[in-house]
Chains A and B, each alone.
Chain A
């Protein structure tokens, strides 16, 4: 596609449920990033993929959060046993690795845990 696509755009789930958020990056972008943005704050880093592997997962807040990118394109962010504090906009970005390639952001998934 022409841009970074994130689905769903909105997700409401009950506390304790499992959710999956999907990111479809720009074709050919080998680097993929997940960020989380709480209301009124800037995005915070969660995890970075280079190809299929997680190059940096230091931003994942705890072991309820996990992300995969099995074929080096689409990525899925998985959250187990959701808590109300997980409510935020989850943003995905991709870029061509190396050089001075800029970042392209998706429109985000707004997750609300009730």
Chain B
């Protein structure tokens, strides 16, 4: 079992739909990151969370430390949101990130 699991692996939506991507983890963490990766490999950091909720534009990220679960929401999705979204955790015992396998999101016009 991976330490960080994401669902779904693949998600196809129509433009304008509300999207949720889930992340569960099994280790103690000091922070959880949501990252976006476009074709070609570049990774952009979207959020870093240690508790509660953060919002940036149409993106919302929440975390429940007790349940070891986080969600990334995209409101009013757009084709330019199409990318791989990756959840990564920084364990309390170290400095490195442990990554989920990513969710491939495709938003159709």
Contact = CB atoms under 8 A, between A and B. Distances in A.
Given A100-B31, A102-B33, A107-B40, A45 B45 contact: no
Q: Name the residue among A55, A97, A103 with the largest chain B CB count within 10 angstroms.
A: A103
Q: What is the predominant secondary structure among interface residues of chain B facing chain A?
A: strand
What band does the interface of chain B fall in when counting residues whose beta carbon is under 8 Å from A?
Answer: 20 to 34
B30 to A, nearest CB: 9
Contact of A33 (B35, B50, B97): B97
Contact of A108 (B31, B42, B48, B50): B42
Nearest to B30: A100
B66 interface: no
A44 interface: yes
A55 B48 contact: no
A105 B96 contact: no
A104 B40 contact: no
A106 B4 CA distance: 22
Contacts of B45: 102-105
